[in-house]
Structure 1
Amino acid sequence: MTDVTTARPVAASTIALPEVWNLRALDGPVPVDIAGRTIPANVPGLVHVALLDAGLIPDPFLDRNETQVTWIGQSAWEYATTFTWQADGQDRHDLVFDGLDTFAEIVLNGHLLGRTRNQHRTYRLRIDEALREGENELVVTFASPVAEADRASLEIGYRPHTYFHPFNAVRKAACNFGWDWGLDAASSGIWKSARLEAWSGARLAATRPVVTVEGTTGVVAVQVEIERADDADYRVVVALEDGRTAQIDLTAGATSGVVELRAADVKLWWPRGFGDQPLYDLVVTLEHEEATLAERTHRIGFRTINVQLERDDEGTSFRFVVNGEPVWVRGANWIPDDAFITRVTRERLAHRLDQAEFANMNLLRIWGGGYYESDDFYDLCDERGILVWQDFLFACASYAEEEPLWSEVEAEARDNITRIMPHPSLALWNGNNENVWGYEEWGWAKRLQGRTWGLGYYLDLLPRLVAELDPARSYTPASPWSGDPEIFANDPDHGSVHLWELWNRVDYPAYRDIHARFVAEFGWQGPATWSSITHAISDSPLTPESPGMFHHQKATDGNDKLTDGLVAHLPLPDDTEDWHWAMSLNQALAVTVAIEHMRSESPRCMGSVVWQLNDCWPVTSWAAVDGYGRAKPLLYALRHVYTDRLLTVQPRDGGLAAIAVNDAGAPWHGPIVTRRMSYDGTVLAEASFALDIDARGEVTLALPADVAEPTDAASEVIVVESDGVRALWFFAEHRVSSLARAEVVTDARRTASGYDVTVKASNLVRDLALLVDKVDPEAVVDDMLVTLLPGETVTFHVRSDWDVEPERFCAPDVLRTSNQLVADWN
């Protein structure tokens, strides 16, 4: 071995390991046709995916096949490969795994390099003693994650948790063990990239650019850590793409320092809807005697972001402030986009963020029961101006604070704070999902019998690490969080809240009775799109309670809650396709009621983060986009209620008021007209107001009694309009209204990109939708859930590559309305 104290350092190099390894089962309840077989497995990858690719297991997304693959998580597995290495003149050689899922033992040429117990960490293993010239054999074995979680739970002592497996005993994605929307498909595998890194002298171990703004000057304080193999002097140079530089010398023995670079007249990064998203390349270079040893590039944005929890006369605020501007959050919760996370590509993420933008969202919350997302995810959010709320990975459970978990959590947090913090879209670190609330209200204290449950992570370890590694970022201990450990975590007057009683036990009109400061979770279930259901489930007949459909409903009493939440508003159909439409529509109606109410209470309420944007498999859930990436009607409802300019009618002071919310960057001026109309289009009463709202402002206009009070509630509606924006208030629920069969004239024509479908209404047509996936599973329509007054016309634009008869889009199973559900029932 070269004497590292005298050798001249040379530039680091990387050797890629093979992309395809050999996979075999070692023990467990392995089927006889798989036991003893060796199959090819992609790296990065997971055992489930390798077995699927080899045709050895059925697709767990289909029917009840999930039950046929649970043996995989109960078994141990071996990944093996060989690689060739020749002496390269470097002093140090490290084997780097960016992610191992989860309970791994790594052996190189018969030498045990290490064992791992945390899916969310990066592992760097020194291999100089084991590495040899020529061919090298590398073996990574994985113990059963189900068995290891059970074993760990016994070792550290029981802690309360949701669902079936003690996921809280180990550092593995909680939802990988199953959730109320997810598969129980505990995975194993080399789930992120693996490589061999060679270096001499020193290497860049961490570079953390802390970005702030002072006036028009951007300030970047780059926290640098190096790992040394010698005592030489090194220099770290930080450079912006425009040539501005700063540097620091790390003399003998020094392993860390801060390089500050100041850049005048920078362009500010803004969330979408507030401005542009200029990004700057920041290059950090490690040098020795004019030679470059290592280089790392970050794309940064200059902005300030903080989350303000401030006491006031009404309680405690919760608001995001970017560059000094309060941002009304129009967001959604994000879960892993596939039950098998290695199948999620950058292209797929880009499409999902397209859908978030389509729905006018400006924030996504990465929920604590999944994963720290990929670099691609944060890159795309940076480019699009979508703010990211990042949970640390604790969810719906109590967690032991003793070793070995405490050290694992600290190492995991250090790795991921360092990786994610350069991204300008990152707005908030949050300690956990529902665990403080759970301790306060779910009976944990009695079951814990005095054991630790995680509070030390949320109030001590994690905020200390954020302050050390990412000091310009906000941190909250939990969601929901009141801002004070002495105040109930889920108090609507204080901080952020989660609203689940309405879905679980009450009903969605009661959203209007809650006056929250910020709503971080709420939602309503609905089925996947029809084409996704019929692809994934082969039941014959297909009913809401047939075996496959029931298996694809993971929520406790989910179907009963769907029914209970429907029948006060719409009739319960017996036909399955009608049931599917009714439940899809009701999901959209429920969330619309909730968000219109929340936005109407701005600025007391400063955000709505609906549960949830996406799904990880085809399932009945709260998602707006189903597990095959198809938009449900809910996504269109979100587009409507998250628009910059919103009109809504809300109960106020014993009457009704029209509330205009202007979340645009320009004032909103002009007349606003309110009418009470009969369903046949007759105007029964009318009033006009002058609308004069500042940018990011709102106004409440009390409606006069002759507009607000119906003569016949079953057949009247309030229509409020201004500058092309409309709000409707129906005095009666659908099911008890005088809604007649829709009388429409339709015309469908081919276009260069698909089809145009025009609908003209002769009477009141409510909630008009084109379920275009019934014609072409990949078709997309530009709008949905449109209500037409008598005589009005709308044209839908459908993107589709399929060649079908245009009239198929006008068929009654595709062109749906709430009239169809109500008129025949009445």
Structure 2
Amino acid sequence: MSAKSTLHEGWTVTGDPGTPAAAEPIPATVPGEVVSALLAAGLVADPYTDEGERGVAWVGRRDWTYRTTFTYEGGDHDGVDLVFDGLDTVARVSLNGEVVGESANMHRRYRFDARSAIRQGANDLEVAFTSPYTYAEAQRDRLGDRPNAYDEPGNFIRKAACNFGWDWGPNLASAGIWRDVRLETWRTARIAEVVPRTSLEGGQGIVDFAIDLQRAGEADLVLVCTAGGHTAVLPVPAGAGTAQVRVAVDDPQLWWPHNRGGQPLYDVSVTLRSGDEELDSWTHRVGFRTVELDTEPDADGRPYVLKINGEAVWVKGVNWIPDEALFSRVDAARLERRLRQAVAAGIDYVRIWGGGVYESEDFYRLCDELGLMVGQDFLFACAAYPEEEPFWSEVEAEARDNLARLAPHPSLVTWTGNNENIWGWHDWDWQEPLGELSWGAGYYHDLLPKLVAEVDGTRPYWPGSPYSGVRELHPNEPTHASVHIWDVWNQEDYAHYRDWRPRFVAEFGYQAPPTWATVRRMTTDEPLQAESPSMLWHQKAADGQAKLQRGLDAHLPPVRDFDDWLYFTQVNQARAIRLGIEHFRSLQPYCSGAVVWQLNDCWPVTSWAAIDGEERLKPLWYALRDVYADRIATFQPHGEDGVKLVVVNDSAEVWNGVIGFWKCTSEGRITGRALLEIRIDPRDTAEVVLEGQVAPAPGEFLVTGREDFPRATWFTKEDKDMDWATARFTAETAAVDGGVAVTVTADTVLRDLCLFPDRLDPDATVDKALVTLIPGEQAVFTVTSEAIAASPELTAALTTKPVLRAIND
């Protein structure tokens, strides 16, 4: 029987001669990276606080060597392998002084034959990393420079692009053994790879196992394959290294996104035997479902409609970046917290962006279990990539490895060739500097679709995000397939989302700083200001603060202090994305989905995220929960000055009911009422143009009642121009299990009322935000925090600024 033992203990790391730190060995955690080891040893400052990132900039420009000693007991083995699930990135692996393998790709697994080097007893294992800059710059000099969105050589090394810094992330281009390492021993033969391809045929769930074997001789073997309690046995004759086995499961339950149905998963296994001896085994879980991507041209252009089990799904998506800049810090528990936050916000689709990594098994397993669809980019982002060797072969090996590794997961529904590179070739002044140089087109249009069909064969592939469907058409053409909308954040007010009529929005976003407690983690600046040095260091977007200010100037009253700035920018982010998604949803089925940039952060930073780098919810998260609800009502412009109410039913049931709304003055006095009887079929929309006494005049606003769907509002003027009364209310607190309930009763209009308990307890959470009330209405905020509940002073502070805020306070 094969045996596996992890090699995670006793590691040290040493810098090359002349390193500013760690010229002598220091302890190193494996999986891990050099920056984490230096930080644990107290040799560098925290790169996440103030401008600490500057203090580790030298790390990526040095060579590093990891070493450990392990014991091998020997035995009658035909195979002894060192297996690395992730080496970051350019490494030479030596065992007892003998080189057994090399790596040049962070994104693939490596298996090195150790038989000639290993010895019984103690063994010295060394992994020597070359500086990623040394390698990438040498490749750039050899092949000729190519455009990149950043002045970094990250497109000349198969390493996460965001390691070299991004407009939301730090430059921590370190090195390390970033995933598991182990010693594997085996006799006679082993299972090298299993790709279980699932399908549905005639009421059965089919699992077609494609199995690769590694042999040490010519023995006859037997494969025993199971799926859902059904078994198939296949003799494998001497010399055969591959096998195909089909297992059928009767009447399988289907896997669905969480808002469409259940997530039944079936155990599958492959056992390799020789006579009565079990040599090796492989186990996983699969789900049965079909996936289609409808991009057939229609009268309006080209749709981009994702279908699961034959049903069109309106995608309620987010973009995903690595959840930590120091990747090894991310464990299964952290991923589960993040993905459960996504589900709680009504999100059903997570796009793994091409500048990060292929995520861990835990990530996809959790998405399988939680019913989150995954769109997976191949790892190319915002740059021209060379197609010459060694890169072509590395990309092929990387793609084959990850296509096979991720094949079992029903949550994985699409593969996409790259992020913005086809767009870049068209629009970002690449063509003249590139001349005849390769830039990646061969990957996106030839190699990757061939490999997806060959290795996977069950999921659709799309050449790029964005991409319009044919090479001759501009890749970001709104009427054709997927688009990215970035002119709004970069150049225009967020109301201009309504100028777009997209078929599918794969990226759009609006910035805000993180929560108060996270701001205080990332900066010690005093006084704390929007333009203080560390606040600016943690704003990586070009002219980011100016763009935030442009948004404030367009919509909100002047800020008086940092507390105003923090609250107003967070509200503006939430409003911008809500406006965009409500508009896109009002266009369905013409528009088939929206994927917000972005769900998460990898460190404390001002960014487009809904959940900040310390795992705290920004107001945007609460806005997503509202706007991604299955049933929503939204006021939308109609004609030059008119208004219509669009009602969207994305549930599986008919929506029969009454929607009531009021027309109000800025004082909150009701001047008009309407009750609309509705009957909307499942997955359908309806709209009503507002006329007569319910059409708002300048200075008035519309608000739906306290219904069983998120409240809809429409304002005829911006807050800065509305004649709001200064906020007046009463607030009462009461103890509840694990925290405090805060009941706010409005005496005036309260606009986007928020409660920020993290100002009192960094671990505190609250159940709602962005609540608009008219006089006489109440809202109850439930704060979870034992620390606040135990302190009368902190409990009292829940009812006053800067913890409790309204735009008109």
1:543 aligns with 2:539: no
Aligned partner of 1:496 among 477, 482, 499 = 482
Q: Which amino acid aligns with 1:814?
A: V
Aligned to 1:780: 765
1:467-478 to 2 correspondences below 5 Å = 467-478=453-464
1:38-117 to 2 correspondences below 5 Å = 38-117=25-104
SS at match of 1:810: coil
Aligned to 2:205: 218
Deviation at 1:245, TM superposition (A): 0.7
Instruction: Give me the whole-angstrom Cα distance separating, in 1, the residues matched to 2:209 and 2:239.
Output: 19
Instruction: Give me the whole-angstrom Cα distance separating, in 2, the residues matched to 1:535 and 1:127.
Output: 46
Instruction: Give me the whole-angstrom Cα distance separating, in 1, the residues matched to 2:23 and 2:485.
Output: 50
1:17 aligns with 2:3: no
Aligned partner of 1:515 among 498, 501, 514 = 501
Aligned partner of 2:801 among 776, 800, 812 = 812
Identity across the alignment (%): 48
Instruction: Give me the whole-angstrom Cα distance separating, in 2, the residues matched to 1:587 and 1:158.
Output: 37
Instruction: Give me the whole-angstrom Cα distance separating, in 1, the residues matched to 2:710 and 2:23.
Output: 66
Aligned to 1:485: 471
Cα deviation per residue 1:643-672 (whole Å; 9 max; x = unaligned)?
111000111344221111111121100122
Number of matched pairs = 804
1:205 aligns with 2:192: yes
Aligned to 2:133: 146
Deviation at 1:385, TM superposition (A): 0.1
Aligned to 1:700: 687
Conserved? CA contact 1:720–1:728, under 8 Å: no
Instruction: Give me the whole-angstrom Cα distance separating, in 2, the residues matched to 1:627 and 1:761.
Output: 34
Aligned to 2:416: 430
SS at match of 1:310: coil
Aligned partner of 2:555 among 549, 552, 569 = 569
Deviation at 1:54, TM superposition (A): 1.4
Instruction: Give me the whole-angstrom Cα distance separating, in 1, the residues matched to 2:766 and 2:465.
Output: 35
Deviation at 1:724, TM superposition (A): 5.1
SS at match of 2:70: strand
Deviation at 1:716, TM superposition (A): 3.5
Cα deviation per residue 1:266-322 (whole Å; 9 max; x = unaligned)?
111110110110111101111211321111111111111122212111111111111
Deviation at 1:572, TM superposition (A): 3.5
Instruction: Give me the whole-angstrom Cα distance separating, in 1, the residues matched to 2:791 and 2:38.
Output: 37
SS at match of 2:554: coil
Aligned to 1:407: 393
Q: TM-score, normalised by structure 2?
A: 0.98
Instruction: Give me the whole-angstrom Cα distance separating, in 1, the residues matched to 2:709 and 2:294.
Output: 35
Worse-matched range after superposition: 353-362 or 499-508: 353-362
Aligned to 1:441: 427
Conserved? CA contact 1:658–1:703, under 8 Å: yes
Deviation at 1:673, TM superposition (A): 2.7
Instruction: Give me the whole-angstrom Cα distance separating, in 2, the residues matched to 1:543 and 1:484.
Output: 48
Q: Which amino acid aligns with 1:278?
A: P
Q: Which amino acid aligns with 1:293?
A: L
Aligned to 1:3: none
Instruction: Give me the whole-angstrom Cα distance separating, in 2, the residues matched to 1:724 and 1:522.
Output: 25
Deviation at 1:804, TM superposition (A): 2.5
Aligned to 1:742: 727
Conserved? CA contact 2:485–2:507, under 8 Å: yes
Instruction: Give me the whole-angstrom Cα distance separating, in 1, the residues matched to 2:688 and 2:355.
Output: 43
1:354 and 1:15, CA in 2 relative to 1: closer, same or farther beyond 3 A? Answer: closer
Unaligned runs of 5+ in 2: none
1:465 and 1:762, CA in 2 relative to 1: closer, same or farther beyond 3 A? Answer: same
Aligned to 2:602: 616
1:129 and 1:245, CA in 2 relative to 1: closer, same or farther beyond 3 A? Answer: same
SS at match of 2:720: helix
Q: Which amino acid aligns with 1:445?
A: Q
Q: TM-score, normalised by structure 1?
A: 0.96
Conserved? CA contact 1:761–1:789, under 8 Å: yes
1:98-247 to 2 correspondences below 5 Å = 98-242=85-229, 244-247=230-233
Cα deviation per residue 1:413-452 (whole Å; 9 max; x = unaligned)?
1111111111010010110000000101111111101111
Worse-matched range after superposition: 155-164 or 61-70: 155-164
Conserved? CA contact 2:666–2:722, under 8 Å: no
Instruction: Give me the whole-angstrom Cα distance separating, in 2, the residues matched to 1:305 and 1:35.
Output: 51
Deviation at 1:215, TM superposition (A): 4.5
SS at match of 1:42: coil
Instruction: Give me the whole-angstrom Cα distance separating, in 2, the residues matched to 1:616 and 1:350.
Output: 16
Aligned partner of 1:676 among 653, 660, 663 = 663
Cα deviation per residue 1:799-820 (whole Å; 9 max; x = unaligned)?
1121332111111101011112
Instruction: Give me the whole-angstrom Cα distance separating, in 1, the residues matched to 2:390 and 2:489.
Output: 38
Conserved? CA contact 2:522–2:605, under 8 Å: no
Aligned partner of 1:361 among 344, 347, 351 = 347
Conserved? CA contact 1:677–1:719, under 8 Å: no
1:324 aligns with 2:310: yes
SS at match of 2:398: helix
SS at match of 2:443: helix
Instruction: Give me the whole-angstrom Cα distance separating, in 1, the residues matched to 2:24 and 2:678.
Output: 73
Cα deviation per residue 1:50-104 (whole Å; 9 max; x = unaligned)?
1111121110000001101111111111111111112211111111111100111
1:212-361 to 2 correspondences below 5 Å = 212-242=199-229, 244-361=230-347
1:790 aligns with 2:779: no
SS at match of 1:107: strand
Task: Please tell me the root mean square deviation across aligned C-alpha atoms, in Å.
Answer: 1.3
Unaligned runs of 5+ in 1: 1-10, 821-826
Q: Which runs of 4+ in 1 moved over 6 A?
A: none
Aligned partner of 1:729 among 703, 714, 723 = 714
1:707-726 to 2 correspondences below 5 Å = 707-710=694-697, 713-719=698-704, 723=708, 725-726=710-711
Deviation at 1:538, TM superposition (A): 0.7
1:459 aligns with 2:441: no
Q: Which amino acid aligns with 2:188?
A: G
Worse-matched range after superposition: 670-679 or 305-314: 670-679
Cα deviation per residue 1:350-407 (whole Å; 9 max; x = unaligned)?
1111211121100110000000001000011000000001000000001111111000
Conserved? CA contact 1:24–1:79, under 8 Å: yes
Instruction: Give me the whole-angstrom Cα distance separating, in 2, the residues matched to 1:93 and 1:127.
Output: 6
Conserved? CA contact 2:10–2:69, under 8 Å: no
Aligned to 1:6: none
Deviation at 1:20, TM superposition (A): 3.0
1:149 and 1:396, CA in 2 relative to 1: closer, same or farther beyond 3 A? Answer: same
Deviation at 1:726, TM superposition (A): 2.9
SS at match of 1:155: helix
Instruction: Give me the whole-angstrom Cα distance separating, in 2, the residues matched to 1:437 and 1:720.
Output: 44
SS at match of 2:644: strand
Aligned to 2:513: 527
